[in-house]
A = this chain, B = another copy of it.
């Protein structure tokens, strides 16, 4: 185990507590007691309880964005890009599952100045997926008659919802889940031409 700074210890503790009781179900007193520190220590590291919530949000969304960009840039065809982006996201999942729960369930409680920063990153993420769908339509891999918006939100929903049911010690691995998601989405949006490529690259089950 790496040496843990006080800040890291507070975040780790808070994540566990928030996930089970929700942001408002946990007081700063409880966080500092569980983390084995003090009120002073907490406010030395964080401007406010809200700032801690923001940090948890930002760490997660920034990582997702970074990985997604990489997946987009490092792949050639839209099919490769889609699969790689899905794979990236679900990979982040395994590491940041606690962040995600807080991210999606408690974001309403972020003060506006924090919320805007997060919102921009979320938008950027959505636009990258929309871009891939558009690319695929133009290149003939994806059917032109599907709606980019709806398809994008379908993909995001499908993937994001995983945080509600996926358990790291459960019987399903992220690998299996991603494989199924790829199969479901690709079959749903590809043209016959696209299907040839996907089959050849073994993206389908």
A residues whose Cβ falls under 8 Å from a Cβ of B: 20-25, 104-106, 108-109, 143, 145-147, 149-151, 153-154, 156-162, 164-165, 172, 176-177, 180-181, 183-185, 187-189, 205
Check if B160 sits within 8 Å of A161, measured CB to CB: yes
Contacts of A108 in B (CB 8 A): 20-22, 25, 105
Check if B151 sits within 8 Å of A184, measured CB to CB: yes
Check if A153 sits within 8 Å of B157, measured CB to CB: no
Please, how many angstroms separate the alpha-carbon atoms of A145 and B161 in the complex? Answer: 22
Contacts of A176 in B (CB 8 A): 147, 150
Check if B157 sits within 8 Å of A25, measured CB to CB: no
Of B143, B147, B180, the residue contacting A154 (CB under 8 A) is B180
Residue of chain B at shortest CB distance from A184: B188
